[in-house]
Amino acid sequence: MLNKLTDFLSSLIAPASVENRPEHTLQLATAVLLIEVMRSDADSTDEEQATILKILKERFRLSDAEVAQLSELGHRAATSANDLHQFTSLINRELELTEKIRIIECMWQVAYADNQISSHENHLMRRMADLLHISHGDYVAAKTRAKPAGLK
């Protein structure tokens, strides 16, 4: 199922080529992790969705249409996935530690978008940091950087 989604994403965003596929697969994996943060608590908000779209657009330098397509595919992949290991293992294989820390920071930005962190979001974030082999210190630093000014 993931291969079909990845192939579809590759055909939408860029011409299919061997060089483009890993990047687009990483884009989908990143989108799924961001979406999982939003889905982790009972109340997904428009602010969280807008934050995801903004992060994907800036991180991957995509047009609005490309971001919308990536988000839709990310939602489908997140819904159909049995676990997140397939996404985190790809990220671990392809990205350096600093890039993985940046993904954790982006995930925290999604969690903070509604100005409250649920226990489910906290649990998911800790689990994601473990799956991405992020040290506790780097995890806390990413959380601190993502926290909006003035939020207690």
Question: CA triplet 35, 4, 133: central angle to 5 degrees?
Answer: 45
pLDDT tens figures, 6-49: 555 554 444 333 334 455 689 999 999 999 999 998 777 899 99
C-alpha 52/C-alpha 46 separation (Å) is 10
pLDDT tens figures, 114-123: 988 999 999 9
pLDDT tens figures, 137-152: 999 999 999 999 877 6
Query: Which of residues 2 and 63 earns the better pLDDT score?
Result: 63
Q: Which domains does the chain have, with CATH numbers?
A: 2-146 (1.10.3680.10)
Q: Answer whether residue 98 shows pLDDT above 80.
A: yes
CA 146 to each of CA 22, 24, 35, 85: distance values in angstroms, whole numbers, following the listed order: 27, 25, 16, 24
- For residue 107, the Cα-to-chain-centroid distance in whole angstroms is 6
**Local confidence band at 3 (pLDDT 50, 70, 90 cut-offs):** low
Assess contact for 100 and 92: CB atoms under 8 A.
Answer: yes
What is the Rg, in whole angstroms, of the alpha carbon atoms belonging to the chain?
A: 15
Query: Which of residues 10 and 98 earns the better pLDDT score?
Result: 98
Burial of 127 (0-12, 13-18, 19+ CB in 10 A): middle
Residue % of the chain over a pLDDT of 90: 70
Exposure b/e, 102-125, CB count within 10 A at least 16 = b: bbbbbbbbbbbbbeebeeebeebb
